[in-house]
Amino acid sequence: LVLDEVETIQRVRSDVRDKSLNALRQLMDEVDGGRFPGLYLVVTGTPAFFEGPQGVQRLEPLAQRLYVDFQTEERFDNPRAVQIRLPGFSIERLTLVGRRVREIYESHASDAGRIRERCNDDCIRQLADAVTGRLGGKVGVAPRIFLKKLVGDVLDRIDQFADFDPAKDYHLTIAETELNRLERQAMGATDVDEIELES
């Protein structure tokens, strides 16, 4: 079970936030106590959620259960700890994720060889560079759009159309409507009318 973006709890009313944090603590205790055999719980959130006053720290029993000392070097992080630190994306890591997604896609594709040939490592790297470039060079903002384009625009088309070759037939386009606020900010304004003014 993945509870993603739990940091959004910080933006709700304090009574709702307190109930949510307590429910999370109860769920963790139930999983730890063996009530749900085979269930693995993954909770994702920002450092502010885990360390800030409006998140986990607001409920002492939950803070105690989730505490991990991250003062040591990152390379010595314990992967079995209750919390793991995820390093930021680099273009190399983004490309690696793209290759792994391609491998998973290949295993279910109608023609795995065509997928591997047309969406080779260079193709994935070029797409990662292009998406990151369009998003102002900010790799940390690029993963969602990169994976969306890789699967929906490249891998699906290679799988569905025998003559589709992304090197010749694909040109990256990113519409403003498919971006979230953070991605739009990273993309930057291309026209003076696109600059949002505070009122």
pLDDT value at residue 198 = 56
Whether the model clears a pTM of 0.85, i.e. scores above it, the answer is no
Q: Which residues of the chain have pLDDT under 70?
A: 189-199
Give CA–CA dist 59/57, Å, rounded: 5
pLDDT value at residue 190 = 56
* Tokens, residue 104: 């998973």
The burial class, CB within 10 Å (0-12 / 13-18 / 19+), for 164 is middle
The residue with tokens 């070759």 is: 165
pLDDT value at residue 182 = 84
pLDDT value at residue 194 = 53
SS3 2: strand
> Alpha carbon of 172 to those of 129, 130, 136, 145, 148: distances in Å?
11, 7, 15, 11, 12
pLDDT value at residue 181 = 85
Give CA–CA dist 50/184, Å, rounded: 27
pLDDT value at residue 140 = 87
pLDDT value at residue 169 = 97
CB-CB contact of 7 with 55 (8 Å): yes
